[in-house]
Structure 1
Amino acid sequence: MVYLITFFFVISAFMVEGPVDDRGWAFFKGGLLAFFIESLIFIPYIAIGLHLHKKHKPRLQYVYYPWEQLVAYVQKQQDIGPSIFTERTLLTLAIPDPDNPETALAAASIAVGHETAGLAQWESIRRFMEDGPEACPGPRDYGTLAHYRESCRKARAEMPLVAWLWKKVGDWFFQRNLAHRLTERRVNHLIPKSLPAELQAWSQPLSDEQHSKPSAALLEANRRAQALRRKNRGISPQAVLEMLHKEAKEGDVLLA
């Protein structure tokens, strides 16, 4: 701010019409000297700041990890403030750091609302990655441009004229139609084009020969768990796992 004031003070001296007395020249020379000293301070400061900003600016970098290294867990996170206490349930996907088991090379968390919803979300991700899109339910139409248009047609058919006109005023004021169009274009066109070619190639589904196959131990554990559930119809999945763990730990024969 001081630098700009000094700059305009020096410039204003050239806008004076008529002769300038000695006092005016003294003020001009003093302002010019102050502007020169401030330039010696501010110009290197700005140049160094721009250099450091460019040097340490975050850069988008894609790092590829095998799917088998990914771990997932559902956790509850408590946020405590001066006058509020909230609890969130998060599904976290992480790549563990082999050199430090307590940290992760990369991690991402999403709020899922409840542990059961988090498990369902993870199961959808796992089935998509291992069995392909056909193994997952289709995406909901909610929030898309087609859903917005369908809701407008439904509102026109069901709502009274005055209420429907008031809704159209709200749609125009909040630009809902434009927002849906821009989102649709961004999701379907802009985002796919922004991904690098190597990431798109890496994201292609693997052939059946490249899919990891369940081990013999896993198949045997699944067979025993299914047999145990058939024998005890009312048992919960958690109880099945506890009984199998007890069998493996103590050597008890639980299955006939």
Structure 2
Amino acid sequence: MIGLRDADNGNVLWLTVACGSLRGAVAEWEAIRAYMEEGPAALPEPPPEEFEEGTVAFFHMARIGYRDNFPWLQYVFGFLFVQAFGGWTLPCHLSNWVNNRPRATFPKVVREWSRPLPVDQQAVPSEALVKESDEVRKAFRRGQTLLDYFKVKFAEPA
């Protein structure tokens, strides 16, 4: 978790970022810091656009590359001849059709049950949860981390 403190009112915005280690978390924070200080100029150049293998666009990119980089005879017999017997772009179109077919959906009963509840029917936080949240916010203002707060909290006798 990365906490961003608002300098005006002291509120902390917590971002949950998947980091496998402390080193990963520090690297993530460094990337955010560099962007905040240097702006979009800190971003690396985007990689060149590449086509997904098996698409029609990839087929045409490969065809043009083969045509431009090989002798004419090798292009005709090494690419066009093989592709003609391989179905040309038919396999690409078939894979697009298979991948873009509608997915199975939940039954109507499940979709109706899964709709959000109206606001008046939603559960409200318990008084204990509200109290605990206030205590955590106070601990943050004192400079404690979430781990420090719970270490102290669990060390107190119940």
More strand by share: 1
- The question of a shared fold, defined as TM-score above 0.5 by the shorter chain, is answered with no
TM-score bracket, normalised by the shorter chain, equals: 0.3 to 0.5
Q: TM-score, normalised by structure 2?
A: 0.41
